[in-house]
Amino acid sequence: MRKQILFDNDGVLVDTEHWYFTASAEILQTMGFHLSEDRYRDIMIAGESAFLIAEESGVPISETDKWRTRRNELYQHYLRSEEIAIPGVKEVLAELSPRYRMGIVTSALRCDFELIHASRGIVDYMDFVLCSGEYPRAKPYPDPYLLGLERLGGEKHETIIVEDSERGLRSAVSAGIDCVIVHNRFTEKHDFSAAKHRIKTLEELLTLLN
């Protein structure tokens, strides 16, 4: 019987994937590099940085670190100015919360996460949040979800992970925890063959768990 749920954040609880890509692509474009969605998808799956395409061409990390800072500022601008809510998410969490312990395990920076969730009420339903840098190794390694499981204090067979990316799915599978993939247009070309279930919207999770 399932007793606890670990959620990814970007693309599952909020619609932010596109804006992170857009901010990265725009900064790279100003420096003469084209980042396609397909190349970004491959970089994302591997858990690498979008600025890898510049570093592969010989741009030193000391320089791309400056670009990352500009990208992060642009991304935060989009987080403040664009609509990133996914309809129905809060209602689903409200229905789940009396029956399940829940946490968020995200690759987002803590500062970005707090900006995203400043007034959404989503975190109110969670026992904890783990952000980038708060676990030894990032997805697709198992560390984030193993630490999430430890925080919940339960067993793997009692837990399910909700993800939208191949990188997140690999992390879940490596951790030995069943994973449900929720549809996201930005990641729909990823390989989800190892997922336990696939759903079109988070509302379908209610039926699946029942």
Residue 47: which domain range?
Answer: 17-81
**CA dihedral angle for residue 5, residue 192, residue 36, residue 68, rounded to 10 degrees:** 30
Q: What is the mean pLDDT of residues 138-159?
A: 96
Residue 101 has pLDDT above 90, yes or no: yes
Task: Say yes or no: 128 and 176 in one domain.
Answer: yes
* Structure confidence at residue 29 (pLDDT): 98
Task: Say yes or no: 145 and 92 in one domain.
Answer: yes
* Structure confidence at residue 45 (pLDDT): 86
Task: Say yes or no: 63 and 115 in one domain.
Answer: no
Task: Say yes or no: 149 and 119 in one domain.
Answer: yes
Q: Please state, for a pLDDT cut of 70, what percent of the chain lies above it.
A: 100
Task: Say yes or no: 201 and 146 in one domain.
Answer: yes
Answer with the residue of higher pLDDT: 7 or 42: 7
Residue 166: pLDDT band by 50, 70, 90 thresholds?
very high
Residue 154: pLDDT band by 50, 70, 90 thresholds?
confident
Place of tokens 């799915």: 169
Residue 44 has pLDDT above 90, yes or no: no
Two structure tokens written together for 139: 């997805």
Per-residue model confidence as pLDDT tens digits over 8-23: 999 999 999 999 999 9
Q: Please state, for a pLDDT cut of 90, what percent of the chain lies above it.
A: 92
Please write down the HEC assignment for all residues of the chain.
CCCEEEECCECCCECCHHHHHHHHHHHHHHCCCCCCHHHHHHHHHHCCCCCHHHHCCCCCHHHHHHHHHHHHHHHHHHHHHCCCECCCHHHHHHHHCCCCEEEEECCCCHHHHHHHCCCCCCHHHCCEEECCCCCCCCCCCCHHHHHHHHHHCCCHHHEEEEECCHHHHHHHHHHCCEEEEECCHHHCCCCCCCCCEEECCCHHHHHHHC
Two structure tokens written together for 108: 């987002």
Residue 152 has pLDDT above 90, yes or no: yes
Rg (Cα) of the chain, in Å, rounded? 17
Task: Say yes or no: 35 and 55 in one domain.
Answer: yes
Per-residue model confidence as pLDDT tens digits over 108-127: 999 999 999 999 999 999 99
Per-residue model confidence as pLDDT tens digits over 49-91: 999 999 999 999 999 999 999 999 999 999 999 999 999 999 9
Domain count, the chain: 2
Task: Say yes or no: 93 and 132 in one domain.
Answer: yes
* Structure confidence at residue 17 (pLDDT): 93
